[in-house]
Amino acid sequence: MGKPKIVIVGGVAGGASAAAKARRCSEDAEIVMFEKGPNIAYANCGLPYYLSGVIENRDNLLIVTEKRFQQRFRVDVQTQREVSRIDRARKVVVVRNLKTGSMEEEPYDRLILSPGSSPVIPPLPGVDLPFVFTFKTLEDTDRIYQFVREKRPRKAVIVGGGLIGMEVMENLGLTGLKVSIVERLGQILPFLDWDMAELVRQHAETKGASLLLSQGLKVIENRNGSGMVHTEVGKTVKADLVILSLGIRPNVALAVEAGLEIGETGGIKVNEYMQTSDPDIFAAGDCVESIHRVTGKPFLTPMGSVANKQGRAAGANALGRKIAVKGFLGTVILKVFDLTIAKTGLSEVEAQQASFDPLVTFIHPGHIAEYYPGSKPLHMKTITDKTSGQLLGGQVIGEEGVDKRIDVLATAIYHRMPLDELLHLDLAYAPPYSAARDPVVIAGAIGQNFFEGDWIPITPTALHEKIESRGNLTLIDVRSRKECLKEGMIPGAIHIPLHHLRDRIDQLDKDRETVVYCRTGLRSYLATRILMQKGFTRVKNLTGGTMSWVYPVKKGGLR
């Protein structure tokens, strides 16, 4: 190619990254970028915060204007142009001008597809009513923004309690709306395990959020211009505004029609160079499937940060470079009221689905030194392959310091780090930033203790099932009397404060299954060590203690 002609379909995260990188790789290339919508390279992930006014100025969302992009990169940016067909034999795309309706052909040497994804709209009555919206693009946001300011709705229902649903819930709430979420599953934020999502649900409800779980949308009814949302279990919620937030699907129609290979996840199949089954066609962003670094299997991870990396590689490789994309971990983070919620790698459920035998631990250390003002508890769950010792995933919830720990875990998992090695990380320590034992280091230490044979954890859910099934069990609460009285006890527990355990050990049956617990799992670990060394053969420690216990407790249960 003397002067290669690069055509890019889509001008937001993946497409704009590809165009900019392509230019940096070649001053000579002719680069044309078609975008269906009116804007390119806008801050998709900032949209919920613009709804609420947290981001005040709409212009701030437009990261690069069309004009500056053309000036800086000499890319021929064509907005409101929809690429409707790829003719691979002739190497042209057919483009519809959405302003005029006219059709044109554009030849390419290399084509980069980054058409993004579309919101899932369920085939249910009422989803096309005028007060029902999807929330995906800047134009969607503009429509909702205008509706809220003009029609002054008082009640909103969001259908779907995933990441976007929860972000929109909080931001709509900030405008004064009363917001309910309707969710088909038994939990919000399905990328989390139930036990972690439950902490978020409880927090959201203390903030006045109304979360209707285990009930999908059935129908939206129009009553005099505002709506009634009916759920599958017969519940009805009034709504002046409904937002459908049921996830997204990769936009693959163009690729399918052109005969490009589509993966099992429904995304376009690409190799590590973002090359599709046609070597002259690359793809990036929400439309492709990625490789999960832990499972090695394809998955969808529609994030702006992912699209940028993929677009950059696609742009370079379309010009003959060989820049690999090394897979992703499905890392996510979001804010829900006072909490930050983050996850990387596999959840416990996902680890089981991928046939791992997971070691699960919970810890609840302060996000900084507990003696320093402003320390807030973190809730950290780690999932580890018992066979290899490799850390598979982490989930962190808390008011502060969550993003730091999830990024350290993501970096660790990138390197297939064993859980116990986290202990060795030389993380930055000063009281305003961390404890001398950082939460990540603590997770490593308790992992090492497990692999050294010093303790066996039991999860809250496993213990709860055991109690429900009335198993034969000694359950020992080693907290102080004051804590038991104040916070209640797990049903069926007996109370032996840690510092009396050695003296009362002879009252206990060495051969009976024994579970110990405290508030966080630390004192009960010490109790575990005492019991195991004194010949107790079947001791388990409730990992995370009562701070991980999301089930009912028994008040006044002390004896």
Integer Cα distance of 50 and 43 in angstroms:
10
Q: How far apart are the first and last CA of the chain?
A: 83
Q: At what angle do helices 460-468 and 194-206 cross, to 10 degrees?
A: 90
Q: Are 544 and 364 in contact (CB under 8 A)?
A: yes
Q: How far is the CB of 302 from a copy of itself (least distance, A)?
A: 12
Interface positions, 246-265, toward a copy of itself (CB under 8 A):
none
How does DSSP classify residue 345? E
Stretch of 53-61, 206-214, 220-228, 550-558 contacting a copy of itself, by CB under 8 A: 53-61
Q: Per-residue x/- marks for a copy of itself, 399-438, CB under 8 A?
A: ----xx-xxx-xxx-xx-x---x-xxxxxxxxxxxx-xxx
Interface positions, 56-95, toward a copy of itself (CB under 8 A):
56, 60-61, 63, 71-74
Respond yes or no: is residue 45 known to be catalytic.
yes
CA distances from 117 to 85, 134, 171, 394 (A): 17, 13, 23, 27
Residue 15: closest CA among 33, 1, 29: 33
**Cβ burial 438-452 (10 Å sphere, 16+ → b, else e):** bbbbbbbbbbbbbee
Strand pairing class (358-363; 378-385): antiparallel
Residue type, 289: E
Q: What are the phi and psi torsion angles at 314 (to 5°)? A: -60, -45
Stretch of 104-112, 227-235, 306-314, 468-476 contacting a copy of itself, by CB under 8 A: 306-314
Q: Per-residue x/- marks for a copy of itself, 312-351, CB under 8 A?
A: x--------x-x-xxxxxxxxxxx----x-x-x-------
3-state secondary structure of 198: helix
Token duo for residue 409: 């875990």
Token duo for residue 134: 């999807």
Stretch of 100-108, 115-123, 220-228, 304-312 contacting a copy of itself, by CB under 8 A: 304-312
Is 499 a binding residue for a copy of itself by CB under 8 A? The answer is yes
Interface positions, 24-43, toward a copy of itself (CB under 8 A):
24, 26-28, 43
Is 476 a binding residue for a copy of itself by CB under 8 A? The answer is no
* Residue with smaller CB distance to a copy of itself, 276 or 317: 317
Q: Are 462 and 475 in contact (CB under 8 A)?
A: no
Q: How far is the CB of 41 from a copy of itself (least distance, A)?
A: 10
Interface positions, 516-535, toward a copy of itself (CB under 8 A):
523, 525-526, 529-530, 533-534
Q: How far is the CB of 322 from a copy of itself (least distance, A)?
A: 10
Residue from 155, 218, 230, 309 that binds a copy of itself (CB under 8 A)?
309
Q: How far is the CB of 25 from a copy of itself (least distance, A)?
A: 8
32 HSE (CA, 13 A, CB side)? 19
Among 45, 287, 484, 518, the one annotated catalytic? 45
Is 273 a binding residue for a copy of itself by CB under 8 A? The answer is no
Residue from 38, 247, 304, 492 that binds a copy of itself (CB under 8 A)?
304
* Residue with smaller CB distance to a copy of itself, 50 or 108: 50
Stretch of 44-52, 213-221, 349-357, 480-488 contacting a copy of itself, by CB under 8 A: 44-52
Residue 293: closest CA among 257, 326, 316: 326
Angle at 385 between CA 379 and CA 386, to 5 degrees: 105
Catalytic residues: 45
